[in-house]
Amino acid sequence: MVIWIIGKSGSGKTFFAKKIFEILNKKKKCFLIDGDDVRKYLNYDLTYSISDRKINSRRIQDLCLYFEEKKYLVICSIQSIFKKHQLENKKKFNKYKQIYLNVDEKIFKKRKFKLHKYRKNVVGKDIVFPRPIKSHLEILNDFKDYKSKLKKIIKFINKYI
C-alpha cells in the first residue's frame, strides 16, 4: 500500500510522514520516502524546472512501486503538482491512498520556508500549486494540535491496512 502525502512546501508533509512512520512501523513493515531526501540522495542530477520535476516525480513513483511490491507500507511525502501523476498512482499501485495537507493561505504566507528566497521555480511562489485531484483524505493544517490531526490520519490508514 502507498500512502501519498501531498501539499505545498511547508505544509507539514515531512513532519506528518515521519510521525505516521513511527506509529505504523511498530506493527507493519514500513518504508518512508520523502521527496526532499530522494532529491538529495538519488535525484541530485535534477533541477527544479518543470521537466525535471516530472522526472523526479516519476522516479519517486517507481521507488514507491518497488517497495510496495516488496510488501512494505510505503509512506511518501511529496508536493505532487502533476495531476496526471496523481491519476496514474491510482492505477499504478495495488493499494493507494492520497492525503492532502491543505494550509490556509494567510497562515501559509506567515510561515518561513527553507531556501525559498534563494531558489527559483519554487512551488507556491514561482509555480502555482494546483489543488489536487480528489484526495482520499484532506487535512487542514493550521499548525495547532497536530496530535488530533495525526490521530485522524492514523485512523484513516488503519481502515485499509
Q: Which residue numbers are catalytic?
A: 80
In terms of Cβ atoms closer than 10 Å to its own Cβ (0-12, 13-18, 19+), residue 77 is: buried
Neighbours of 99 (CB within 10 A): 25
- Locate 154 and state its grid cell: 492514523
Instruction: From 57, 55, 77, 82, select the one nearest 3 (Cα to Cα).
Output: 77
Percentages helix, strand, coil for the chain, rounded to the nearest 5? Answer: 40, 15, 40
